[in-house]
């Protein structure tokens, strides 16, 4: 585990996303404490979603497919600034991002950790291959929204738990609207 990750601090929140404290990243995930997070969905102009395959060495959910990028704002960062920073750190590009919704969820992930998140959902459009950071992602691909839902139905174990929860919460129609709205 990197020193940076050990020292990373997360914003603890209540169910209305009001800040209630600060916690060390691994401790927060071990305890399942509610914290602020974000998920980014990058679409191309054809309406396909960029999926990220998490690096095998990640502290949880390694090698699983998920949304384009996700992470946690630092205590001094806005959600948008954090999302912009992580998109560049993980996928090697920047593009305008727009927050479209929020979702509250709690899911068990690998290594006995819990993602208990008040998650801000961002969308953006980008039409080029990313320059992925191999410490963060081992692969990527474009997929249509219907193909993603079909793949999750056929092979759910290949996808992160939070990605399945987010897609299930919003549904195929809303996700497709996000894609169509960016064309």
**Residue 72 annotated as binding?**
yes
4 pLDDT above the threshold of 90: no
Question: What pTM did the predictor assign?
Answer: 0.94
Alpha carbons 135 and 127: distance in angstroms, whole number: 23
Q: For the chain, how many structural domains are there in total?
A: 1
1 pLDDT above the threshold of 70: no
Q: Is 165 exposed, middle or buried (0-12, 13-18, 19+ CB in 10 A)?
A: middle
The answer to whether residues 104 and 117 touch, using CB atoms and an 8 Å cutoff, is yes
Kindly indicate the confidence band of residue 112, based on its pLDDT and cuts at 50, 70 and 90.
Answer: confident
| CATH code, 88 | 3.90.79.10
**Residue 136 annotated as binding?**
no
Alpha carbons 92 and 131: distance in angstroms, whole number: 5
The answer to whether residues 161 and 61 touch, using CB atoms and an 8 Å cutoff, is yes
Alpha carbons 26 and 57: distance in angstroms, whole number: 15
Cite the active site residues.
Answer: 70, 117
- Average pLDDT of the segment spanning 101-130: 94
Residue ranges making up the domain that contains 44: 3-181
CA torsion angle 110 116 117 118 (round to 10): 160
- Average pLDDT of the segment spanning 100-113: 91
Give 50-70 pLDDT, tens digit per residue. Answer: 999 999 999 889 899 999 999
DSSP-assigned letters across all residues of 8-49: -EEEEE-TT--EEEEEEHHHHHHHT--EEEEEEEEE-TTSPE
28 pLDDT above the threshold of 90: yes
Give 161-172 pLDDT, tens digit per residue. Answer: 999 999 999 999
Q: Which of 20-34, 103-117, 130-144 has the lowest mean pLDDT?
A: 103-117
């Amino acid at each position: 585990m990197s020193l940076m990750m050990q020292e990373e601090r997360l914003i603890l929140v209540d169910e209305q996303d009001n800040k209630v404290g600060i916690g060390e990243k691994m401790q927060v995930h071990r305890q399942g404490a509610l914290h602020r997070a974000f998920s980014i969905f990058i679409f191309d102009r054809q309406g396909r979603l960029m999926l990220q395959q998490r690096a095998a060495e990640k502290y949880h959910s390694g090698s699983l497919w998920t949304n384009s990028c996700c992470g946690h704002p630092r205590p001094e960062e806005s959600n948008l600034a954090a999302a912009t920073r992580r998109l560049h750190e993980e996928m090697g590009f920047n593009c305008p991002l727009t927050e479209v919704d929020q979702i509250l969820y709690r899911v068990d992930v690998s290594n006995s950790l819990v993602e208990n998140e008040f998650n801000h959902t961002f969308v953006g459009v980008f039409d080029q291959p990313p320059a992925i950071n191999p410490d963060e992602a081992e692969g990527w691909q474009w997929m249509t929204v219907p193909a993603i839902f079909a793949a999750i139905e056929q092979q759910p174990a290949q996808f992160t738990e939070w990605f399945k929860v987010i897609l299930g919460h919003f549904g195929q129609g809303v996700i497709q609207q996000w894609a169509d709205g960016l064309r």
